A and B are shown apart, each in its own frame.
Chain A
């Protein structure tokens, strides 16, 4: 303990160690994310698949109901987030699976990287890819369905960032959990969609609210809290269980 400090305080050196550890984890996570993004931008495996899939689903929705109807504006948020959730599964399936050939995952795990930085790095890469798919889908959605989505752009961007981080974190965790399983592509959606329900409800409610010309009402703002709580809780759980999921 630092001399002169009261007994209940965290000593300065402990706080400094924690800060250094957090910074090191973040730096390592960014390295992993940059590696994944470099591979992805070179091969465009999941980006092309997820983007094409999202656009096909948006096209198919137009046959399910009249795309010019006023009702579409009220359910626009729901349509979009379903598309993002489906496209996300394609991104997450590739996240850890691309490390399987040549024992790359074992090499990463035996490197000085911590398991938590590997998991968060994978989540960051999926987050960037999914945001890219969402940006393209949103533009296509605006054109196909004559939707003015840019009325409240900053709030919409905040909702997209918060919700996409939640989806990416869960996707990275369960992508890691299912990477060695038979029927990996089937197992991942079965596991993550029920878990994503609170996040999707919140994102849909907020997006529908933001598509209208009126500012968000207080009861709609509660959904922002759900998104923040979801992100904090599941990021904390992912960090706490990273060693268990990846290493042990």
Chain B
């Protein structure tokens, strides 16, 4: 059943991505001020949203693990963090390419860029820590605690750097601005691409969760064999 869901999600995501790529590169016109490079936002914004959704789902799963003690939540949280880190890196890299063309620099210490980088560093530390702990229950407990601290910290980083300095363009989606900042056809394409990327991320999470569970089963069998 799980395989069918994975294949289904991957197939729908692939079809939707192919349609989106066709629309983005061959149908939508260049943006008046930025030219062709604006198209990078169709990947930059959905990758950022996917990453953020992932971290907060992982936060929920970490709290669930701590309250129930079921390792399934831990495997799922770890898989989601792993996939979210990948999408956060995609977000930073695409943003950096856009900044090089528009601002003439690869990086600036703007609050969104800095908080995105801090977020990646915190969750990379989460993944590194998981590799350093062999005992599954201890690993799950410590990872859940770090995930909770990390998510709270990301919120504080976001708010504090907002006061500090900013250069990043303001929000464009109507859901945050009330409309008027982006052409409806372009906004529709952002949401379509977000849907495709979310489905791709969900398929990746399911595959990684299966791998995590298999690794844990192999590990417990090895421990059993060593104990015998």
Contacts and interface: CB of A to CB of B under 8 A. Distances in A.
Interface of A: 170, 173-174, 177-178, 180-183, 187, 190-191, 193-195, 197-198, 201-202, 205, 219, 222-223, 226, 229-230, 233-234, 237, 241, 244-245, 248
Contacts of A198: 153, 156-157, 160-161
16 contacts: A173-B149, A181-B129, A187-B125, A191-B125, A191-B129, A191-B146, A194-B125, A195-B153, A197-B153, A197-B157, A198-B153, A205-B164, A234-B149, A245-B141, A245-B145, A248-B141
Given A195-B153, A237-B149, A201 B160 contact: yes
**The 7 A-B residue pairs with the shortest CB-CB distance in the complex, in nearest-first order:** A194-B121, A198-B160, A198-B156, A191-B125, A194-B122, A195-B153, A226-B160
A180 B138 contact: yes
B156 A201 contact: no
Contacts of A191: 125, 129, 146
Contacts of B152: 233-234, 237
Nearest to B144: A244
Given A181-B133, A241-B145, A195 B150 contact: yes
A229 B160 CA distance: 11
B17 interface: no
B53 to A, nearest CB: 20
A245 B121 CA distance: 22
B30 to A, nearest CB: 38
Contacts of A230: 156
- Residue of B132, B141, B149 with highest tally of chain A CB at under 10 A: B149
Given A195-B153, A201-B160, A190 B128 contact: yes
Contacts of A183: 132
A234 B142 CA distance: 16
A183 B125 CA distance: 13
A226 B125 contact: no
A130 B145 CA distance: 24
Interface string B14-38: 0000000000000000000000000
A195 B133 contact: no
Contacts of A223: 160, 163
Interface in B91-137: 114, 118, 121-122, 125, 128-129, 132-133
B71 interface: no
B66 interface: yes
Given A177-B129, A190-B129, A244-B66, 6 more contacts: A181-B133, A194-B118, A194-B122, A197-B153, A226-B156, A234-B149
Nearest to A183: B132
B148 interface: yes
B161 A201 contact: yes
Nearest to A222: B163
Contacts of B164: 201, 205
> Chain B CB within 10 Å — which of A174, A197, A233 has the most?
A197
Contact of A187 (B128, B141, B163): B128
B152 to A, nearest CB: 6
A69 to B, nearest CB: 22
A223 B162 CA distance: 12
Contacts of A182: 132
Nearest to A202: B160
A244 B118 contact: no
Contacts of B145: 173, 177, 241, 244-245
B160 A187 contact: no
Nearest to A233: B152
